Amino acid sequence: AAVEKGRFRHFMQKEIFEQPTVVAQTLGSYLRRVEQQVALPQMDFALADVRRITIVACGTSFYAGMVAKYWFEQFARVPVDLDVASEFRYRNPVLEPGGLALFISQSGETADTLAALRHSKAHGQKIAVVVNVPTSSMAREADLLLSTHAGPEIGVASTKAFTCQLAVLAAVAAHLAVVKGKMTREEEQDAVRHLLEAPAALNAALAHDADIAAMAPLIAPARDVLYLGRGPDYPLALEGALKLKEISYIHAEGYASGEMKHGPIALIDEAVPVIVLAPSGPLFEKTVSNMQEVRARGGKVVLISDAAGIAEAGEGCLATIEMPTVHPLIAPLVYAVPVQLLAYHVAVAKGTDVDQPRNLAKSVTVE
Ligand code: G6P
């Protein structure tokens, strides 16, 4: 049956609001609730023997891979290489025996990612894929198929596929950490419990839809917007900038918060909104000082943080958006929501074609 928009104005909006449901569905196939354990599908190789992981993807899927690099290295201590497919396939990458190559793709058909998969296979890598279309080419050619259960994604700009990719990758990170002996059974149970809290946290984030819609007219006139984040929220800053570019046609850049002083700070003035993604935590102080650097130059900050972060640094911001207080493992899923909603409402305010942005394709099956 054809997918309908129902009560929503755009498919993208509908897909943003589906995230609590589809993330729960996806997690349901990787987590055992009773045992509080991660369970991956059967594979013909031992994950414990994997010495290095190479992650390759394009677009939004690439940013999911970038979050995964932080997780795999931090929790499992497995070194990760990360590349966009169009670079990877032509740079003659070093692929050693015992390597696992992981491809992330909503469609499972993106030409560069598929070519990178075949190149890796020909060079002796085990192949894992995180895909949303289980009948796709990538799914068929993989040794390990990790499906996302986001359902059909119609909006050209990816939203629910991204958070479902993150859900799978977080489960894989925890499992990898266990088989590598870097996570105890108790820590695994703890991680599983936190992952199971993700759908409720996504709902709490979605509850800010109206505030974000009200704020969109402040961002819509901007010519440039800067997004800042640190650690696993740095890829979210990149994703936020990509979403805004894709559907509102405003020039946007994502930067690692600490790197701002090495360039983008030169652009800051009253006309450049700076969106800061910063859950409270050990590095929050550093981000606060980056915000002060922005404000000292007249820049307008939109702070996306939790209650503690906003209490500490919300004063003097153009706007604040309060996210629920969550475990760091699910923060990237939760912080995806406000950046999606912000891009969506700015695009609506500008009157662009949200579901079919100019010059973009849902799936790029030619080089
Ligand atoms: C296109 C789409 C993006 C998507 C990217 C990768 O550029 O417009 O939304 O992130 O392709 O697609 P994939 O299907 O491989 O995830």
Q: Is 165 in the pocket of ligand 1 (CB under 6 A)?
A: no
Q: What is the pLDDT of residue 173?
A: 97
Q: What is the pLDDT of residue 264?
A: 87
**59 Cα nearest atom in ligand 1:** 10
Q: What is the pLDDT of residues 57-79, one digit of tens each?
A: 999 999 999 999 999 999 999 99
Q: What is the pLDDT of residues 18-70, one digit of tens each?
A: 999 999 999 999 999 999 999 999 999 999 999 999 999 999 999 999 999 99
Long-range contacts of range 137-145, CB-CB < 8 Å, 24 or more positions apart? 137/108, 137/109, 138/103, 138/105, 138/108, 138/109, 138/113, 138/114, 139/108, 141/114, 141/117, 142/103, 142/117, 143/43, 143/44, 143/45, 144/40, 144/41, 144/43, 144/45, 145/41
> Ligand 1 centroid vs 110 CA: distance in angstroms?
7
pTM over 0.95: yes
> Ligand 1 centroid vs 249 CA: distance in angstroms?
17
Q: Is 110 in the pocket of ligand 1 (CB under 6 A)?
A: yes
> Ligand 1 centroid vs 77 CA: distance in angstroms?
29
Q: Is 60 in the pocket of ligand 1 (CB under 6 A)?
A: yes
Q: Is 58 in the pocket of ligand 1 (CB under 6 A)?
A: yes
Compute and round to an integer the Cα radius of gyration of the chain: 20
- The structure tokens 């991956």 sit at 40
Q: What is the pLDDT of residues 99-146, one digit of tens each?
A: 999 999 999 999 999 999 999 999 999 999 999 999 999 999 999 999
Q: Is 54 in the pocket of ligand 1 (CB under 6 A)?
A: no
Q: Looking at the annotation, which residues are catalytic?
A: 362
pLDDT above 80 for 1: no
> Ligand 1 centroid vs 106 CA: distance in angstroms?
7
Q: Measure the CA–CA gap between 151 and 239, rounded to whole angstroms.
A: 21
What is this model's ipTM? 0.98
Q: How far is CA 30 from the centre of its chain?
A: 18
Q: Is 61 in the pocket of ligand 1 (CB under 6 A)?
A: yes
Q: What is the pLDDT of residue 233?
A: 95
Which of 83, 106, 117 to mutate to test ligand 1, by most ligand atoms within 8 A of the CB atom?
Answer: 106
Contact criterion met (CB below 8 Å) for 208 and 321: yes
Q: How far is CA 203 from the centre of its chain?
A: 17
